[in-house]
Structure 1
Amino acid sequence: MHKRLMLITFAAAAVLGICLIIFALPEKQEAGNGNTAAIPNAPVNATAAETTYKSNCVSCHGTDLQGKIGPNLTKIGAKLSKEQIDAKILKGGGVMPSFEGRLSAEEVANLAKWLSDKT
């Protein structure tokens, strides 16, 4: 009888736990939609963006955005939206490293806006 009571209690706890997980957790966002929706509507701080670029991007993309190891970014805003640029900076891809955790959300958003103006 004691084993049966323990089994029923365990089963009820497991069902309750599964229900809490299913109904209480928020839905997962699709890949690429993580931080890109959180780009603030603040104007571009070009000085800060240039500083971030020089500190993190020059070695691959060149001093004038002309490209070296990485692609030319002089007209990247004509090819990608600021959200796509933001996602690329955060997640990287190909040989480009991820800057998630290395740059703040504000730095990424400002850099993405600055680059998206390059058309």
Structure 2
Amino acid sequence: MKRKIAALILGTSFVLAACGGGGGSDSKTATESANGPEVFKQNCSSCHGGDLKGGYGPSLEKVGAEHNAEEIQKIIENGKGNMPPNILGGDKAAEEAVAKWLSEKK
């Protein structure tokens, strides 16, 4: 039982650390430019892979075929599954830039 609790705590810590936790100094630098690919690289690639093929998080190679930019932005804002909400610290320009860029992946 103790091992399961320890694994849960460790796993949760990993998700928060790997996915940026919603706004460290790297996040601020990336979001100031609102460059979709750069913001993704600095905040999302640790879970979704630099090549969009997935890892801890799902593949996003063809996410634009499933979701439009507005839907993707809502996922970024609200989280989904193991992805925490406000992964970009509520920076609307960064959210829009990443959502637009990802919506083109079909």
Which bracket does the TM-score occupy, shorter chain normalised? 0.5 to 0.7
- Of the three residues 47, 52, 62, the one matched with 1:75 is 62
Higher-RCO chain (CA-CA 8 Å, sequence separation at least 6): 2
Q: Distance in 1 between matches of 2:64 and 2:57?
A: 16
Tell me the C-alpha RMSD between the 2 structures. 1.6
1:104: Cα distance to partner?
1.0
CA contact (8 A) 2:52 2:61 kept: yes
TM-score after normalising by structure 2: 0.64
TM-score after normalising by structure 1: 0.57
| CA pair 72-59 structure 1, distance change in 2 beyond 3 A | same
Deviations 1:26-59 (A, max 9, x none): xxxxxxxxxxxxxxxxxxxxx8111100111011
In structure 1, the gaps of 5 or more residues are 1-46
| Percent identity of equivalent pairs | 40
Residue 89 of structure 1 corresponds to 76
In structure 2, the gaps of 5 or more residues are 1-33
- Of the three residues 82, 89, 99, the one matched with 1:112 is 99
Bigger share in helix: 2
SS state at 2:89 partner: coil
Q: Which has the larger radius of gyration?
A: 1
1:53 aligns with 2:35: no
Equivalent pairs, count: 73
| CA pair 49-94 structure 1, distance change in 2 beyond 3 A | same
Which runs of at least 4 in structure 1 moved beyond 3 Å after TM superposition? none
